[in-house]
Amino acid sequence: MAASRNRGNTGGNPRIMVAVTAAVIIVLVGLFLLNQAASKKDDGMKLLDDAPSTASQPMMGSGEAGVTIVEFGDYKCPSCKAWTERVWPQLKQDYIDSGKANFAYINVEFHGEESTLGAKAGEAVYQAYPDRFWDFHKALFDAQPGADHNSLWLTEEKLLDIAAETVPEMDKDAFLSALNGDSAASMAELDRILVRQYGVKATPTIMVNHIEIQDPFDYEAIRSAIEGELQP
């Protein structure tokens, strides 16, 4: 009888039934969305509404390429050094050198003043001698200590040494003036805006057109995203 009364009470109140049905629908929609998110995570990719703008960013590769790969990176970040050493050479060989994709680098400043100094140095070199940018970029990651990367190493003195080797046309005064000038600062600010706009939380973050790669060291996911985007 108790069971019968309970059924009667619930079944007899249409407002409760509507509320229960609505709650069930909300839960089911939630589960559906969770499954969708999970299935995207399974293939290592997250779809974004659009691709980040690469206007005014250093770009390597063919301007005609249909795929643009963007790295959000930080010269002070050990994972970015590791990515540049372990993933980047294969990516360059397979897709950038072949003209299938191009590659842009956007600064992130997650490690304080040294990150900011590195970002502005890259911008200064890129504006003065764009053809020298990638040599400077690689040399700066090479200079990051493999152990104890938290120690102070990214200094003006270190940057001057690297610039002297990789951008010999740029003398010391010109480099320091550009490094501390408004133009490099405003380019670094543009990158900060992109970092906020795209919700970049970790470095390196790798995007293939409008696809964010969940694990930047998962080359198979990067490859799969590029191949998918190359399809007509």
Tell me how far, at minimum, the Cβ of 117 lies from Ca ion, in Å.
14
Q: Which residue is nearest to Ca ion (CB)?
A: 191
How many residues sit close enough to Ca ion to count as binding (CB under 5 A)? 2
Would you say 205 or 221 has its CB closer to Ca ion?
Answer: 205
The CA-to-CA distance between both ends of the chain, in Å, stands at: 67
Binding mask 49-88 for Ca ion (x = CB under 5 A): --------x-------------------------------
* String of DSSP letters for 20-80: HHHHHHHHHHHHHHHHHHHHHHHTTEEE-SSPPP-TTS-EES-TT-SEEEEEEE-TT-HHH
Would you say 57 or 166 has its CB closer to Ca ion?
Answer: 57
Q: What is the token pair recorded at 98?
A: 């072949």
Would you say 57 or 115 has its CB closer to Ca ion?
Answer: 57
Residues 6+ apart with CB under 8 A from 111: 74, 76, 77
Report the candidate in 118, 117, 114, 71 with the shortest Cα–Cα distance to residue 91. Answer: 71
d(CA 134, CA 138): 6
Question: Does the footprint of Ca ion cover residue 229 (CB under 5 A)?
Answer: no
Would you say 101 or 119 has its CB closer to Ca ion?
Answer: 119
Tell me how far, at minimum, the Cβ of 149 lies from Ca ion, in Å.
22
Would you say 106 or 211 has its CB closer to Ca ion?
Answer: 106
Which residue type, as a one-letter code, is found at position 110? F
Looking up tokens 């690469």 gives 54
Residues numbered 179 to 208 that lie near Ca ion (CB under 5 A) are 191
Question: What is the binding site for Ca ion (CB under 5 A)?
Answer: 57, 191
